[in-house]
Amino acid sequence: MKTRLALFDLDGTLTNTLESMTYSVNQTLKEMGLSQITKDQCRLFVGNGARVLMEKSLRAAGDPEGLRIEEGMEIYGRIFDENCTYHVTPYDGIVEMLENLKKKNIRLAVLSNKPDQQTVKVVHEIFGDTLFDYAQGQKEGIRRKPEPDGVYAIMDNMHVKKEECLYVGDSEVDIATGRNADLKTVGVLWGFRDRTTLETAGAVNLIEKPEDLLQFV
């Protein structure tokens, strides 16, 4: 069946957001009087939403029990909202690939475990208003990835069947999301995880360059 919707993860798939997340986490930890994390640590901590990112960061920074998580989330929410587009850029070839999908009359959407407000803000500021048809982040009442709830909500909103949808992401969370939603899924190798991690998670379709995605639609 023809692909009518390409559904993308955001961080590590469309945009290199590692700089903005590392910066915001470290500004949060600094305000809390804790030590900093490295960019490589942040790379390993992302993918499961802001709360898991902060829980892992707090443990690495001197709060092993995560006792200050609520304080950390409050500070991180404020700092990240101000800095969510800090040094954020699309990966090379992403915009061209998205434009080629649009030429094929394929609609484009984003589903992220990043908070909804920041997800929409990043998509709007980095890609403008015309490329993506819909963007959704983590919302109250919708379980985060790898649960399929967000995928189903977007498909319902856009009146698309699962057989018409392609899911694209860079992490083991994304591979599981695609599997749980029973979608054709493609893993990308330019993001936050390596080939071994994705293959261990069960990835079958892997691509090294954005333009390679066109063979799956």
Give the C-alpha separation, 205 to 42, whole Å. Answer: 26
Q: Which helix (H) or strand (E) holds 116?
A: helix 116-127
Predicted confidence (pLDDT) per residue in 141-187, tens digit: 999 999 999 999 999 999 999 999 999 999 999 999 999 999 999 99
pLDDT at 209 (0 to 100): 98
Give the C-alpha separation, 202 to 204, whole Å. Answer: 6
Query: Domains plus CATH for the chain?
Result: 5-16+89-216 (3.40.50.1000), 18-83 (1.10.150.240)
Predicted confidence (pLDDT) per residue in 58-91, tens digit: 999 999 888 999 999 999 999 998 998 889 999 9
pLDDT at 205 (0 to 100): 98
177 burial via Cβ count (<10 Å: 0-12, 13-18, 19+): buried
84 burial via Cβ count (<10 Å: 0-12, 13-18, 19+): buried
Other CB atoms within a 10 A radius of the CB of residue 17 amount to 28
pLDDT at 3 (0 to 100): 96
pLDDT at 105 (0 to 100): 97
pLDDT at 9 (0 to 100): 98
pLDDT at 1 (0 to 100): 79
CA nearest neighbour of 180 among 148, 144, 143, 145? 148
The answer to whether 57 and 29 have CB atoms below 8 angstroms apart is yes
Predicted confidence (pLDDT) per residue in 92-131, tens digit: 999 999 999 999 999 999 999 998 999 999 999 999 999 9
The residue ranges of DSSP E strands in 139-217, in sequence order, are 165-169, 184-188, 205-207
Lowest mean pLDDT among 24-28, 35-39, 82-86, 120-124: 82-86
pLDDT at 49 (0 to 100): 85
DSSP class per residue in 41-92: HHHHH-SS-HHHHHHHHHHHHT-TT-TTHHHHHHHHHHHHHHHTTTT-EEPT
209 contact partners, CB below 8 Å, separation of at least 6: 93, 190
pLDDT at 84 (0 to 100): 87
- For residue 47, pLDDT over 90 is answered with no
pLDDT at 72 (0 to 100): 96
The answer to whether 108 and 97 have CB atoms below 8 angstroms apart is no
